[in-house]
Amino acid sequence: MNYRRRKSYRSAAPAAAIRHMAERSELSRRFGGIDREVEKIFLQLAPSELDRLLSRYGQEHGQKAEVYARDTYEKWKSGSVKMSGQTAGRLLDLLPPLLAPSIRFDLVRKFRERHFSKRTIRIQSTPQTWRTDLVKPIQELVAASSGFALPADLLDTAKWLADGDVAAAQRLLAAAEQEEAAVRVAYIDAELRRVEALIQNIDTTRQVTHTLKLPQGEIILRVELPARTLLQRLTGWMR
């Protein structure tokens, strides 16, 4: 009888560990690995900050959960115990509001990057119209970026993004969009100058293909050049 009980206990422990690992893997998948960054920040908190966070942890999830977190903290830090998906999810909700605005901004930016679905747009154009033909696709990508919203399941887990500090979260999202827009405009201008140089100097082929890589996706531009006249071919051969 005792043997059976010990055997049952030993088999239950690995089962619980596997379940916790599965929960953590699912959380990491949903958050694109951001939970690992939050865990790293948590394990590097100064003693006073850690005490404040764990006190809030207990207020939210009960004294038993707080005692467990305090008792297990050094084991999490050493790596001898792996943090469960439940604990990591709770930290995703509690820790970011206590961080500096620059760190929260970086977390929001990474959330967006890892959940934004990038597009590929292909354009067939001519030397006379390629600049005009790029306008609409660029506008489409810009609209897709500004219309992006974090998935609802992320907002449910990391409630600070939608509930506790709505105004700050919106400012962070707006700042992320402005940062992307500035990078995009500068990058596109340089790429357009490169395409212009290719079209003006090409000799060996009658087609130019160039890819504009943007934060929201890419535009593959193919410019068909007109057939060269006999005089143009002879002039080019004699140079």
Domain residue ranges of the chain, discontinuous segments joined by +:
2-99, 119-225
- Closest listed residue to residue 203, CA positions, set 236, 227, 235: 236
Please report the pLDDT score of residue 227 as a whole number: 64
Please report the pLDDT score of residue 17 as a whole number: 67
Q: Using CA atoms, how far apart are residues 34 and 27, in angstroms rounded to an integer?
A: 9
- Closest listed residue to residue 70, CA positions, set 62, 160, 20: 62
Print pLDDT tens along the chain (239 aa).
454 555 554 555 577 667 767 888 888 888 878 888 999 999 999 999 999 999 999 999 999 999 999 999 999 999 999 998 889 989 988 998 888 878 887 887 788 778 888 889 999 998 888 888 988 988 888 888 777 777 777 777 777 777 555 556 666 676 776 777 677 777 777 777 777 777 766 666 677 888 888 878 888 988 887 765 555 555 554 44
Look at residue 151 and give its three-state secondary structure.
Answer: coil
Gyration radius from the chain CA atoms: 27
Please report the pLDDT score of residue 233 as a whole number: 52
Write the CB contacts of 142 (distance below 8 Å, at least 6 apart in sequence).
181, 184, 216
Q: Using CA atoms, how far apart are residues 8 and 97, in angstroms rounded to an integer?
A: 42
Terminal-to-terminal C-alpha distance of the chain: 98
Token pair in block for residue 88: 């990591």
Q: Using CA atoms, how far apart are residues 53 and 56, in angstroms rounded to an integer?
A: 5
Token pair in block for residue 29: 């998948």
Q: Using CA atoms, how far apart are residues 78 and 80, in angstroms rounded to an integer?
A: 6
Whether the model pTM is above 0.85: no
Q: Are the beta carbons of 173 and 180 closer than 8 angstroms?
A: no
Please report the pLDDT score of residue 63 as a whole number: 94
Please report the pLDDT score of residue 237 as a whole number: 45
Work out whether strand 119-125 and strand 217-224 pair parallel, antiparallel, or are unpaired. Answer: parallel
